[in-house]
Each structure stands twice: as C-alpha cells, then as structure tokens.
Chains A and B, each alone.
Chain A
Amino acid sequence: MSERILGGLLLFVSIAGIWIARSFEAPFSYEPVGPRAFPILILALLGISAIALMLGKASHNTVWAPPPVLKRIGALFLIVLIYAFLFDKLGFILATALMVIPVARFFSGSWKQAVAGGIGLGVGLFILFDRLLDVALPTGLWLNKLLG
C-alpha cells in the first residue's frame, strides 16, 4: 500500500515537473540541447519507474514502526525541525539545550540526565566549535542584548 501511494506521488511529481520544465527556455542558445532536455528525460524515466512501482508486486518488507513509536519519531522530527528554525534566533547554546532535553527523554534518559546533557552539550559544543575550532556559531539575539 505504501508503495502505491508513493508511486502515485512520484508520478504526480514527474508530470508536474515536466509541466514546469516546458518553460525552461534559453533566451539565446549556442548549443543543440538546452536546459530543458535533461530534466524532462529524468522526469520521464521517473514517471515510468513510478508506474512500475505502483504496478509491481506489493512487497511486504515495508515495516512501519508501531504507532506509539511512530508518533515519537514524528515528534523527534518536529523537534529537530523547530531546532533548525530557532538555531540562530535563540542562539546555539539555548536552542541546543532545548532540543537535547526532549530528545534525550525519547532515548530513555532520565530528566536529570536530559537536563544535564542539554546544558552540557549546548555549552560544551559551543566552546569546542566556536572558541577552539573557529567555527562561528550564533550566540542569539537575546544574549547579544544581555552582553550589550
């Protein structure tokens, strides 16, 4: 079933992509093959593969995690996504600490371990990268204000 849905989705992508690609036209061109041909070739092959995937034997080796685990994986994904959004707004230390705490809880760390890990990783990695390895990290607006 998962294969059918994904196949349908990919077929849609390939049709939509070819539709978009029709407008790829070079204003002036010195070569016989323009910017349009390669994407259309790839998308056409993708469409064929997607149909093959839909029509093929349903394989039974797609094993989704049981719903409670799947829910936690979804939550983990959202946390990382929010982390990505807030990375420079909150600054590395605070954003990392806030990300680590729930993730550590998912991997069965205790509250104490999670909080300690969050602060430790936030501060430790900041010192390691920003101070020692010269990889600039955001300190965050709030900290900038505090520091004046």
Chain B
Amino acid sequence: MESTFALLMQGFAVAGAPENLMIALIGCFLGTIVGLLPGLGPINGVAILLPIAFAMKLPPESALILLCSVYAGCEYGGRISAILLNVPGDAGAVMTTLDGYPMAKKGLAGPALSMSAMASFCGALVATVGIVLFAPLLAEWAIAFGPAEYFVLMVLALCCLGGLVGDSLPKAAIACLVGLLLSTVGIDSNSGVYRYTFDMLHLQDGIPFIVIVIGLFAVSEVMLMLQQAHSGTEPMAITGRLMFNLKEFMLAKWTMVRCSLAGFFIGVLPGAGATIASAMCYASERRMAGKDHQFGEGDVRGVAAPEAANNASANGSLVPMLTLGVPGSGTTAVMMGALTLYNITPGPTLFQDQPVIVWGLIASLFIANVMLLALNIPLIRVFVKFLSIPNWLLVPGVAAISMVGVYAVHGNTFDLVLGTLIGGAGYVLRVMNFPIAPFILGFVLGDMMEQNLRRALSISDGEIGVLFNSPIAIGLWIAAAAMLIGPRLLRVAENRRQRPATV
C-alpha cells in the first residue's frame, strides 16, 4: 500500500511537469470538442490524434497523457450535445438524452450540464481510485500467467467483445477473424517467412496499425457522416442559472456514487464498456427511484446516473489494458496500439518495467478530470459554440488531419491509399452492422496471440493439451464459451418471456 502511494506520487511528478500539464490541458479541451461533435467519439479522437502525437515525437509518457486526456475529455463532451441537441455526442451518452434534453427544454440546460459534469467527475474519480487500488493487484496475479494462459486470456477477451456487441455471432466472429488475419501480414518474426505481402515492399513490416485505425475511424466515419447527414437542429440556448442547486445535488448524490461504483466494475469486464454501463445504471436508478420521480421528463438523477456510469466505465476499461495487456474495448485497443508503437508491451510486467509510464498515466487521469471539471462548468458556453461548426468545414477538416497523421509517420502515400481502401471496406462492413471493436481488438492482439500460442506449443513440444492443462486456462476457456453464448441465450430467453405478455 505504502509503495503504491509512493509510486503514485512519482506519477504525479511526471504528470505534473509543466509540459505534460499543458499537454493534458490541450488534450482535455480537444477531447471535449471531439466528444460533443455528433458522429465523432472517443475512438475517433484517439485514432486521429495518435499518429500526430507520434509524428510530433512526443515522449511516450506525454503521448499517453495526451491520448488519455482526450479519452477522458470525450466522455465529458458527449453529454453536451446529448443535453442541448438531443443527439448523443458519443455512444456512451445515449441515455443522457433521455432526461438531459427534457431538462434543457424546461430551461434547465445549465443545471443539467453542470450536474452531468459533476457526475462525470465523480464517476471518473471513483474509477481512477479503483485503478490505483486494483490494477497493481491484478498485475501481480497475472504475472503467474504462462504463454498458454495468455493465449486463452486473449481468446476470452475476443469472445467477450464478440459476444456482447453486434447483432449476430457470425458477424462478430468474422470481424475478429479478419482483424486477426490482417495482423499476420508481413514477415513472420520467428522464421523470416513472408506472409501475404504479395511482393509489395510496403507490406513487409505488416500493415501499420495507424493505417487501419485511420481507415476505420476516420475515412469510414466521414462516409457514414454523409449518409446520416442530419438536418441542422439548433442547439438549445442556455438560459438562467448555470449551476445545480443544493437540493438537486442532494437528490442525485447517492445516484452518482452508486453508478460510479457499478460503472467501474462493468468497465473492468472486457467487452461491456460505457454504453452498457450507462444503460444498466439508468435503468436501475429509475427502478430504485420508486414512484416519486420524473425520469424521462427531466430528472437530475437521469442525467447524473448515465454520466457517472459512463465515465467510470471508460476509466475502468483501462484496467485490463494496463494490467493484462488485453484491452476490453475498441478505444482501449487503439490506446494499446499506441503503446506498442513506442515498443512498450502492456501487460503484467508493465507495472514493474515502466512504472513512470503507468503511474504517470494514472496520475494524469486525476489531473485531467480536475481540469475537465474546471473547464466544463464555467466554460460551458465556449464549448457550446463548437456545436455550430458546420459539417462542410468539419468533415473535410477531419479527412485532412487524419491524412496528415498517417503521412507524418512513414512519409509515403502508400499508407494513405491503403488506409482509404480499408476505410471504404470498413464503411461497407459498418453499414452491414459488423461490429468494429472486435476487428480492431483482433488486429491488435493477433501478433501476441500467435506468439504466445507458438511459445506454449514449443514448451510442450507441439502437444496441444498444454492449452487445457492449468486450472486458470480451463477457467478461462469456460468463461470464453460462456461469454460467447451466454448473452445470446439470455436474449432468446428474454424474448420468450416477453412474447406472451406482448401478444
């Protein structure tokens, strides 16, 4: 415990360096803007800024601080458009529209925004404390994992994400598998064999991670934005008081605490993530409120619950990424890709090998959230201005900035063309409801999965039973199967149960 505290203080020393504070502030500001723009969420923000951070030759801890503060900022920003436009700025803010927009219509936009900022802060703070308490423990436990256990753990992560998202199992499976397949392109590091390079020089080192990320989260996003080009609704004006009053705070305080805790634990589970956390917390708070509530018509608890849960789970999902090296969501998969760009392998040894980076990152989450709270309450009117950026300027801007990042990393147009082609394919897949998160997770984990599988089988001299030998591995296999099939069985059961009632 003592040493955790000392390490955390060391982290604050890193994150508190003037340069890194400045970077965190810029990240918070940019993140809030990306979050509030409908159509762009945390994954787009992190994806677009990642190559730029890399090209600016930021040291790894600064780059991670930038990405983390953007990530944290996006979770704050999503609520602004949810409340003022009735359009969630990112997927986690869907539930915030339910009570946020009615509150704005009643002229309570100010309190809705400040209450949700407070709830976001509470959620993020609880989750960051959670990271400090649990992450080192988990890392210590995971150090006992051998390559076989690691391989199965990654299978579990893919199954979790694949089981929970998307409308059909084959689609989720295909998304995972195509991601894994693309990760095999390039020279095999063990044997020097060229795989699927088709004699193209640029493919020898594999498909760059940045190219995939920009293709999927910038190019295809731009195409989707043209498809969904929404009619320009005017944001609600903020009139009257900006701050929530004591009565509103007292009403929502336990909601915030409960949803923060629940959100954190949901976030730690791979696959679940912010959308599910906010939906579950909103539903349970609504049920707990009994008769005396205005949920759906502008209850402060209705904005506090999803925002606390959303932010807590966003931060919680950093836990499996940092401690196990197995991200549980699309955005953390992109962040893990960022770490690997710097030749840092996340995983249990990260806490021992790179304490500066890990604890600097955790400390920067604390700092970023304080900054975000400070930015989001008094400066809310500044952010609202960004809601009126017209799409005709925003969309080409996003396209140009994405290309800048990709070009800056390797300096060739092959990457740009490849990224655009991947984006086109990504657009088709997204329209067909293929989930993208399992794809990116598959691509990020592919190499590690193969390496661990081969290492495990080398140790056992090719005997496949090694994958099922240890109790941990068996437990993980069972969990993987359950996660793959469980949610769908539950859904079927739910439909059965509801049918007699509705017909």
Contacts and interface: CB of A to CB of B under 8 A. Distances in A.
Interface in A6-30: 6, 10, 17, 20-21, 24-27, 29-30
Nearest to B223: A73
Interface in A68-114: 69, 72-73, 76-77, 80-81, 83-85, 87-89, 92, 96, 99-100, 103-109, 113-114
B192 interface: yes
A81 B421 contact: yes
A32 interface: yes
Interface stretch (B73-81, B335-343, B401-409): B401-409
Contacts of A147: none
B184 A32 contact: no
A50 B181 CA distance: 14
Interface string B143-168: 00000000000000000000000011
Contact of B222 (A2, A24, A80, A87): A80
Contacts of B191: 26-27, 29, 34-35
A43 B420 contact: no
B177 A38 contact: no
Interface residues on A, range: 35 or more
B391 A107 contact: yes
A125 B396 contact: no
Interface in B7-41: none
B450 interface: yes
Nearest to A57: B168
Nearest to A114: B392
A114 B392 CA distance: 7
A10 B222 CA distance: 25
A59 B174 contact: no
Contacts of B193: 24-26, 34-35
B52 A135 contact: yes
B360 interface: no
A129 B404 CA distance: 8
Contacts of B52: 129, 133, 135
Nearest to A56: B170
A87 B413 CA distance: 7
B354 interface: no
A121 B400 contact: yes
A80 B174 contact: no
B238 to A, nearest CB: 27
Given A125-B401, A125-B404, A129-B404, A31 B181 contact: no
A60 to B, nearest CB: 11
A127 interface: no
Contacts of A42: 177, 180-181, 184
A64 B174 CA distance: 20
Contact of B397 (A27, A53, A121): A121
Nearest to A65: B227
Nearest to B177: A46
B455 to A, nearest CB: 8
A6 B170 CA distance: 12
Interface string B168-194: 111101100110110010001011110
Contacts of B397: 100, 121, 125
Interface stretch (B319-327, B365-373, B457-465): B457-465
Interface string A32-44: 1111011100110
A53 B170 contact: yes
A146 interface: no
Interface stretch (B92-100, B116-124, B423-431, B478-486): B423-431
Nearest to A101: B396
Contacts of A27: 191-192
B454 A31 contact: yes
A141 interface: no
Give the residue among B192, B401, B416 with the most A Cβ atoms within 10 A.
B416
A45 B177 contact: yes
A114 B192 CA distance: 50
B392 A39 contact: no
Contact of A99 (B181, B391, B396): B396
A96 B423 CA distance: 18
B417 interface: yes
A127 B168 CA distance: 47
16 contacts: A2-B432, A21-B195, A26-B188, A38-B449, A39-B181, A43-B181, A52-B169, A53-B171, A61-B167, A63-B431, A84-B403, A105-B392, A107-B392, A109-B393, A121-B400, A134-B56
Given A6-B432, A77-B219, A107-B392, 19 more contacts: A3-B432, A10-B178, A26-B192, A31-B190, A32-B461, A38-B184, A38-B454, A39-B196, A46-B181, A80-B420, A84-B417, A85-B416, A96-B400, A100-B400, A103-B396, A108-B391, A117-B396, A133-B56, A137-B408
> Which A-B residue pairs are the 3 nearest by beta carbons?
A109-B392, A32-B462, A26-B191
